[in-house]
Structure 1
Amino acid sequence: MPAPFLSSLPIVDLGRDVRFDGVQPVFILGPCVIESEAFVWDMARQIKGIADELGLRWVFKASYDKANRSSGKSYRGMSLEEGCGILAAIGKELGVPVTTDVHSPEEATRAAEWIDFLQIPAFLCRQTDLIEAAGRTGRAVNVKKGQFLAPWDVKNIAEKLQSVGCNNFVFTERGTTFGYQNLVADMRSLYWMRELGYRVVMDATHSVQRPGGLGSATGGDGKLAPVLARAAVAAGVDGVFIETHVDPSKALSDGPNQIPLGDLKGLLSQLLRIHEIAKE
């Protein structure tokens, strides 16, 4: 019996010639948050250079607002209009789909005017009104599986999306709560969600978080993110989500989990080679 990542699943089309179809993983790459317009443009252009050299299918990611920070004093980002406008300009100039978090039904509807791939944060993955609003926009949707959900529980989320006519969606694994301030990544989850008939992404960087581990901020084990990414590709995942920063120690959000931009090309090259072996 072939592994489920070799079986036929619905194609999820993000536009701009990027789709989840099992031929090659789609890489969702970028910094956690828009720290400034100049910063995010520089990141996008550097990542594009790497992606073009390796021949990747990729999506540029950066959140305009990090609404679930550990502390109310932490940096969040900018307005929806300003942030999504910047992302849309990046997508147009570089020719890639762009993605960002949305946090409410209203945000989903408004962001869809600019954004190709709407992302539902893990903490909000059971918010029915938000899920349905995102599904109604006509945009592709990425639902982060909550740290509190079993893999098979995503079926209920899929049914919410399908009830409003949305079949263009993926689920992203980002770790499961493992005691206080810790997560564990269970690679069986990728298999089980695929077995249900859904395209699945592995979020390698958020899966190594230590939620609230720094007291007023989230900590993490960023050096382990490449390990999880390699394991996920070997397991047959449809895409890999990786946050990256020129200097994670200076990042305004989720620095401990992000991969240094200087290490990104080497990791992506490894992942492509693993994919070629795993699909045989």
Structure 2
Amino acid sequence: MARIAFIGLGNMGGGMAANLAKAGHEVRAFDLSEDALLRAEARGASRAASAEEAVADAEAVVTMLPAGKHVRQVYETSVIGKAPASAILMDCSTIDVATARDEIGKAGAAGYAMVDAPVSGGIAAAEGGTLTFMVGGSEEAFARAEPLLAQMGKAVIHAGAAGSGQAAKICNNMLLGATMVATCEAFAMAKKLGLDLRTFYDISSKASGQSWSMTSYCPVPGVGPETPADRDYEGGFAAALMLKDLRLALEAAQSVDAYTPMGAEAEALYARFAEALGGGHKDFSGIIRMIDDSWTPPAA
């Protein structure tokens, strides 16, 4: 079992740290939120008074932070040069590719092995230990990180060199954001055309229009397996976070001159839903309410 420093105990990090503790590791946790620290303690972690204290004798460091600027600050002030050089560093945040590559480069220059390992699956998967990790870094760093990441997920995939995990994540979420918008449009149009929505689901989920947004995360309440749509679009992947990921995708696309018209349109739609209409705290599938503002759930 390993001594693991875990920094960042939000909606995703809290469940991930708990799964490492459940697996028998000594997890020393740090977060700026007292409530998050109390929850981590209740689930088997010990608290650290600072990030520096958390990493002091760690064999592994896991971070789950909001944005690239936070990752840069934590690694450059509290991890690199503070954790033992023998520790494997794993940043599971979703950030821009450039920052991921830069921080892995700085860690490597200081003698550390580090990977970028963003996740897919959402809060439920973080709690259940069924996340998918997309990992960037050297073969050696990946080999060291994989066993620990596997205790928090169902799949750990080496995407390539430093920053490749972030590249895979933002490409995936650009696809997800655009697909969800198209799924919402199709349901809204089906309703206006007089189709029974459960019948449309039964057809499209088995036809060429099938997608994860349709069959696993249907944006219509009462149709298909339970999703945030059945909880008034609460408790899922916030639209504000989808917007963040879409903006990261557009930034990356511009950096390599990639043409992404659907990604750009999805970003514009989520910006309107999350910012202009105040839907940022709702699950991203709640954008169906903007696409069809006359929406009402189907009859029970």
Calculate the TM-score normalised by the size of structure 1.
0.33
Q: Which has the higher contact order (CA 8 A, sep 6+)?
A: 1
Higher strand share: 1
Q: Return the TM-score normalized by structure 2.
A: 0.31
Normalized per residue, which structure has more helix? Answer: 2
